[in-house]
Amino acid sequence: MSINKITKKLIVVADDFTGANDAGVQFRKAGLQVKVIIDTQQLKEDLELTDVLVMDLESRFDSAQIAFRKCYDLGKELFEIGNTIIYKKIDSTFRGNIGAEIDGLMSAMQLKLAVLAPALPSSGRTTINGEVYVDHVKLARTEFAADPRTPVKYSRIADIIALQSSLTCREISTELFQEKSSALADELLEEINEEAKIFIFDSREENDLLYIAKLVESISEYPIMIIGSAGLAHYLVKLSFKRKKAPAFVFSGSVSEQTRKQIHHTMADNFCSLFLIKAEDLLDDEFNAEELIAAVSNNIGKGISRFIFTSALTRADVDKVLSLAAGKGLSNEEAADKVAITMGNLAAVLIKKFSPSGVLLTGGDIAIKTVRALHGSGFSIDQEIVPGISSGTLTGSAVKTIIATKSGGFGAIDAITKTLEFFKV
């Protein structure tokens, strides 16, 4: 799941609220936006507005049939949305409906391969020869075997899964993993179009989870499911998101000469990607931003983190917009309003898509149009970055990105540069 190539949205599916939070916090510690939800009424919107979405199904104490149905229904929704990868969060002592939930998700999402590494060595939960140990004692001999609601009577993981699932399980010992580590990824991928299988990995030490996470990362672009406790999630985060650097965006709809000078100054002294929006696009009622989104995504993949989107770099650009608007029968005021609406809508789309670390909106018209496009009801001010540029967050909006605003004709020549530095990009 390298951030340089990841194309899928990560969904964590948990069976209880504390487990959902336990897994989610592993990703939050890496600086990612994480949201835990307990229903799917706005699933698609929730996916768009966060880096990692955690779904608590509250299925641990359900019957196997109900737990299967909850997972199957969620899996069908995710399959229809597409471009998702599932991390099935399970209890490290295997309480709950493990087999039924794996079956439900894999069936609904038409998956044939699952990698299961449930160990949490830091808390004394290990997997040896396919069996679960708690502080060196086999699971079936611990207090979890007498749990009043979800007793666990077996130590061998394949036996626990078999209580609710007919999926084939294959155990991968630490010794086998070390012996075949270089070829194991290819061997697993050969199973993708075969009979559905769960590969159960031993983990005696923390480093074992790290090696398993590396294996998962190498094949995560393929249709697989990852199953584990917070332990494996922790190492997936360390590998997959350690290089993540959220971008920062500047949106300028101002025709001010001062703003244009600030943009040129920023471009001269900083490694930025600049996008001048075409005049015809600015006046298009149905401007399609797909090509722009693809270009931004490509640049982020190359390590670029600073982006400036503007309606004008020179006076000639301004005159071209006004001339084109006049040909459409629009006054200068109407043209300016249409430009602000287009830039505001574009800003909203890109903010939702890429979750930037910060956004600078320069020009009053574009600022208010962006706020409205993000369904904001107001602005909670945090601090003044430099004179004339205030930062804060929107109120009434699901978007929690830091927003900064600047009047078009205001600010020193390095105002945009200092704002980007404030965003830590």
The domains of the chain are located at 9-240, 248-422
Could you tell me if 205 and 93 are in contact, meaning their C-beta atoms sit under 8 angstroms apart? no
Could you tell me if 253 and 406 are in contact, meaning their C-beta atoms sit under 8 angstroms apart? no
Higher pLDDT, 352 or 191: 352
Task: Return the sign of the alpha-carbon dihedral for residues 45, 47, 53, 56.
Answer: positive
Burial degree of 411 (CB within 10 A; 0-12, 13-18, 19+): buried
Averaged confidence pLDDT in the chain: 89
d(CA 133, CA 212): 18
Identify the band that residue 170 occupies on the pLDDT scale cut at 50, 70 and 90.
very high
| Whole-number pLDDT of residue 124 | 95
In this predicted structure, the answer to whether residue 57 has a pLDDT above a threshold of 70 is yes
pLDDT above 70 covers a percentage of the chain that reads 96
For the whole prediction, is pTM greater than 0.85? no
CA 254 to chain centre: 32
Identify the band that residue 7 occupies on the pLDDT scale cut at 50, 70 and 90.
low
| Whole-number pLDDT of residue 362 | 92
| Whole-number pLDDT of residue 380 | 92
Name the token pair of 70.
């909850």
In this predicted structure, the answer to whether residue 1 has a pLDDT above a threshold of 50 is no
Q: pLDDT for 211-250, tens place per residue?
A: 999 899 888 888 999 999 999 998 888 776 544 468 999 9
| Whole-number pLDDT of residue 407 | 85
Asked, colleague to colleague, whether 9-240 and 248-422 share their fold, the answer is no
**Segment 339-351 mean pLDDT:** 93
**Segment 71-82 mean pLDDT:** 95
| Whole-number pLDDT of residue 257 | 85
| Whole-number pLDDT of residue 2 | 37
Of 308, 378, 360, 366, which Cα lies nearest the Cα of 341? 366
Q: What is the DSSP letter of 202?
A: P
Domain 9-240 coded CATH 3.40.50.10840: yes
**Segment 366-395 mean pLDDT:** 92
Strands of the 137-138 sheet, one edge to the other: 125-128, 131-134, 137-138
Higher pLDDT, 253 or 151: 151
Pairing, β 389-395 against β 378-386: antiparallel
Q: What SS3 state is found at 83?
A: coil
Identify the band that residue 159 occupies on the pLDDT scale cut at 50, 70 and 90.
very high
d(CA 90, CA 253): 49
| Whole-number pLDDT of residue 242 | 46
Q: What is the DSSP letter of 141?
A: G
| Whole-number pLDDT of residue 115 | 96
Place of tokens 């945090």: 382
Q: pLDDT for 177-214, tens place per residue?
A: 888 776 888 888 888 878 889 999 999 999 999 999 98
d(CA 33, CA 17): 18
Could you tell me if 105 and 191 are in contact, meaning their C-beta atoms sit under 8 angstroms apart? no
**Would you tell me which CATH number, out of the four given (3.40.640.10, 3.40.1160.10, 3.40.980.20, 2.40.37.10), belongs to the domain 248-422?**
3.40.980.20
Name the token pair of 251.
């949106």
Could you tell me if 396 and 390 are in contact, meaning their C-beta atoms sit under 8 angstroms apart? no
Could you tell me if 411 and 389 are in contact, meaning their C-beta atoms sit under 8 angstroms apart? yes
**Segment 112-137 mean pLDDT:** 96
Identify the band that residue 425 occupies on the pLDDT scale cut at 50, 70 and 90.
low
Of 365, 370, 368, 258, which Cα lies nearest the Cα of 315? 258
d(CA 275, CA 311): 9
Q: What is the DSSP letter of 343?
A: H
Least confident among 2-11, 78-87, 240-249, 288-297: 2-11
| Whole-number pLDDT of residue 240 | 63
Strands of the 358-362 sheet, one edge to the other: 273-276, 306-310, 248-252, 358-362, 402-406, 389-395, 378-386
Identify the band that residue 176 occupies on the pLDDT scale cut at 50, 70 and 90.
confident
Of 277, 283, 278, 281, which Cα lies nearest the Cα of 326? 283
Cα angle at 314 between 309 and 319, to 5 degrees? Answer: 105
